[in-house]
Amino acid sequence: MIDHIRELILAAARRAHADGTLPSDAFPDVAVETPKMDNHGDFATNFAMLSAKVQKMAPRRVAQALVDHMVDPDDHLDRTEIAGPGFVNFFLKPSAWPPVVGRVLSEDQRYGASRIGQGKRVQVEFVSANPTGPLHVGHGRGAAVGDAVANILACCGYDVQREYYINDSGRQIRTLGRSVFLRCREMIGEAVEFPEDCYQGDYIRDLAREVIDAKGADFIRGDEDAALNHCARHAADAILAGIRADLENFGVRYDEWFSEQRLYDEGQVEQSLEELKARGVVYAKDHAWWFNTTAYGDEKDRVVVRQNGLTTYFASDIAYHRNKFVRGFDRIIDVWGADHHGYIPRMQAAVEATGHRREQFQVILVQLVNLLRGGQPVAMSTRSGEFVTLEEVVAEVGRDAARFIFLTRAYDSPLDFDLEVAKQRTNDNPVYYVQYVHARIASILRKAQENGMAGLQWSAEAGRRLTEAEEIALIKALDQYPRVVDTAAENLAPHRVTFFLMQLAALFHAYYNKHRVLVEDPQLAAGRLGLILAVQKVIRNGLALLGVSAPEQM
C-alpha cells in the first residue's frame, strides 16, 4: 500500500511540474511513513518540506500543489489534508484495506519476499568458533543472528551462502593437543603440572580418556611429538563433530565448512602475501613482515609474518577474505563477537588492499549474552571450565525459545538470557505468545472444518464485510510486513521481524477476544476466516525467517 501512495505522490508531482505549478522537476526521494497518530491519517509524506528549497516555495504551498494534482484511479483515498509545517496526510477508505488479505492468501509463502537483493551473491559467515571447546550461549546468539540474517537476505532476493570458517591450524590447536596429552599422562599415573594456559574444562579429560582407550598407555609414554599430534587431531576432530551436531540441533545448516588449513595447503596464504608485497603494502621490518594497515585507517601496522617465520592469524585471514571474493561473492558479511571489534580496521584494510570496496565487507558485532537463572548470574568462564554450553541451553529451554530470545534484541545490545524465564510458558516468554497465535488460528480452522464451514472461500465480497476497527488494524499490520522484511535486510536487523511478530500477535489476540470468527453469516465468516488465515501465514513466514517453528498445536 505504501508503494501505491508513493506512486500517487510522484504522479501528482509530475503533473504539477508539467503544468508549471512546481518549477523544478528535482524531486526528493519520496518518503512515506505511517504516522503514529490516527488523526494524522494512514500515511503521510514530508515531500513538501524536503522540496521547499529547490522549488523556492513555502512548504505548505508545495503541499497544496500536490493535493491539487492528486489523482486516485483505484478510489482508495477518502481524503487528503495538509497539516503542520507541510505534511500531506492521506486518509484511506476502509474499502482500501481488505484486498491486502487476498494478496497475502495468494502469495502465501512468497508474501514478504522482495527483489531488492537483485540476485547478488552474498556470503554470511557466522559462529566460526575455534574447535577447541564446545559452543556456549554466546555462540548461540551468533548462530541465531547469522542464520536469521541469511534467511532474511535470501527472502529479499539475495543469493546467500552460509559458511563456517574452521580455525584448524595454528597455536590453539597445538595448545589443545598439549592439554589433552597432559591429561593423558595424568591418567596413566604420571605427575604433571597442568599449565594455566591450557584448556581446563572437563571435556579435555573426556577426550584424553578416548585417546587412551584407543591407543593405550604405551602410546602416551612413547614418541612425544607423535602423541601430541594425535591428541591434537583427535581432539579437534571430535570437538568439531560436536560443534556440527550442536548447530544442526539448533536448526542451523551451512553450505560450506571452510578449513583454514586448506589455505596453507594450497599455498593461498603465501600467494596473497606475495601479492601484497608486490603492491608494496606488506614490507619487512625488524626481521618480520608488516602490513601497512595504517594507510587504510588502522591505528598501527600489523605483523603478518613473525620473526620466527610463522604467519599470524591475520595472515591467513587476509588469504581467507581474498578467497571469498575469488569465489565470486559481491558482498561478504562476518558475524563476530563484540570482543573482536578491534580487528575490524585491519580486516577492512585487507579487503581494500586486495582490490575491493570497503562497503563489500560488513561485520555484525554481536554483543555478549549474560546468562541468568532466576535473575542470578550464571558463572561463565572458559578458563575455569565452568560454562553452560549451547547444547545444554537448547536441551533445557528448547530450540524455538532459545532462537527467539536471541533475536529479541538488536545485536549491538547486550542480552540478558534467563534460563528460568526462557523455559516458562507464560507471557514473560514472547516466543509462546507468537506461536500461540499460529496454534490458536489452526484450532479455529479445525473447528471450522468440524462445523462444515470449510467451503467458505475468501472473495472480494467477503472482504467487504471486514469493517471492524480491529480487523482494519490487523490488515494494516499485514500490509506492513513486506516493508519490515526489507528494512530488516537493509539493516541486517532480524529483531525487526521479531518485534513485528509480537505486535501482530498482540493485535490478533485483541481481535480474537472481541470478535467471533465462526459466525452464522456465511459471508462474514468467510471474510474473517480469510483474515485469520492470512495472519497465520504471515506469522509462519516471519517465524521461518527467525528459524522458529510455527506449531499447529501447543
Using the minimum distance from each CB to RNA, give the nearer residue, 286 or 359.
Answer: 286
Using the minimum distance from each CB to RNA, give the nearer residue, 220 or 497.
Answer: 497
Nearest approach in angstroms of CB 433 to RNA is 5
Q: What is the DSSP string of 190-236?
A: ------TTS--SHHHHHHHHHHHHHH-HHHHHS-HHHHHHHHHHHHH
Interface with RNA (CB under 7 A), residue from 55, 123, 172, 323? 172
Contact between 337 and 138 under an 8 Å Cβ cutoff? The reply is: yes
| Strand bridging mode 288-291 / 282-285 | antiparallel
Using the minimum distance from each CB to RNA, give the nearer residue, 217 or 303.
Answer: 303
The closest of 126, 389, 101, 425 to 252, measured between CA atoms, is: 126
CA atoms within 13 A on the CB side of 271: 11
3-state DSSP assignment of residue 87: strand
| 440 touches RNA by CB under 7 A | yes
Q: How many other CB atoms are found less than 10 A from the CB of residue 360?
A: 16
Nearest approach in angstroms of CB 104 to RNA is 19
Q: What's the DSSP call for residue 163? A: E
Binding to RNA, residues 271-310 (CB under 7 A): 286-288, 299, 302-303, 306-308, 310
| 49 touches RNA by CB under 7 A | yes
Listed in sequence order, the residues at least 6 apart from 264 whose beta carbon sits closer than 8 Å to its beta carbon are 169, 316
Binding to RNA, residues 6-45 (CB under 7 A): 31, 33, 35-37, 39-41, 44
- CA distances, 322 to each of 192, 294, 317, 365 (Å): 43, 19, 8, 21
Interface with RNA (CB under 7 A), residue from 3, 7, 18, 53? 53
Place of cell 489452526: 442
| 340 touches RNA by CB under 7 A | yes
Binding to RNA, residues 347-366 (CB under 7 A): 365
3-state DSSP assignment of residue 156: coil
Interface with RNA (CB under 7 A), residue from 373, 509, 523, 544? 509
Nearest approach in angstroms of CB 218 to RNA is 32
- CA distances, 127 to each of 136, 239, 316, 364 (Å): 10, 14, 18, 11
Binding to RNA, residues 104-133 (CB under 7 A): 130
- CA distances, 506 to each of 45, 323, 449 (Å): 28, 46, 26
Using the minimum distance from each CB to RNA, give the nearer residue, 176 or 478.
Answer: 176
Using the minimum distance from each CB to RNA, give the nearer residue, 94 or 170.
Answer: 170
Interface with RNA (CB under 7 A), residue from 436, 538, 546, 550? 436
Binding to RNA, residues 129-148 (CB under 7 A): 130
| 69 touches RNA by CB under 7 A | no
Using the minimum distance from each CB to RNA, give the nearer residue, 185 or 496.
Answer: 496
Total of chain residues touching RNA, rule CB under 7 A? 91
Which amino acid is it at 278? Answer: A
Binding to RNA, residues 191-250 (CB under 7 A): none
Using the minimum distance from each CB to RNA, give the nearer residue, 220 or 364.
Answer: 364
Nearest approach in angstroms of CB 552 to RNA is 7
Nearest approach in angstroms of CB 214 to RNA is 26
| 341 touches RNA by CB under 7 A | yes
- CA distances, 66 to each of 34, 59, 148 (Å): 18, 11, 41
Using the minimum distance from each CB to RNA, give the nearer residue, 451 or 457.
Answer: 451
Nearest approach in angstroms of CB 62 to RNA is 11
Span near RNA by CB under 7 A; candidates 263-271, 332-340, 376-384, 533-541: 332-340
Binding to RNA, residues 385-424 (CB under 7 A): 408-410, 412-416
Using the minimum distance from each CB to RNA, give the nearer residue, 457 or 491.
Answer: 491
3-state DSSP assignment of residue 290: strand
Using the minimum distance from each CB to RNA, give the nearer residue, 84 or 222.
Answer: 84
Burial 134-145, CB ≥16 within 10 A → b, else e: bbbbbbbbbbbb
3-state DSSP assignment of residue 33: strand
Quick note: the x/- pattern for RNA over 70-89, rule CB under 7 A, is -------------xxx-x-x
Interface with RNA (CB under 7 A), residue from 189, 193, 426, 520? 426
| 171 touches RNA by CB under 7 A | yes
Nearest approach in angstroms of CB 220 to RNA is 25
Cell of 228: 601430541
Burial 42-79, CB ≥16 within 10 A → b, else e: bbbbbbbbbbbeebebebbebbbbbbebbebeeebbee
Interface with RNA (CB under 7 A), residue from 24, 109, 384, 427? 427
Span near RNA by CB under 7 A; candidates 1-9, 62-70, 105-113, 496-504: 496-504
Burial 175-201, CB ≥16 within 10 A → b, else e: bbbbbbbbbbbebeeeeeeeeeebbbb
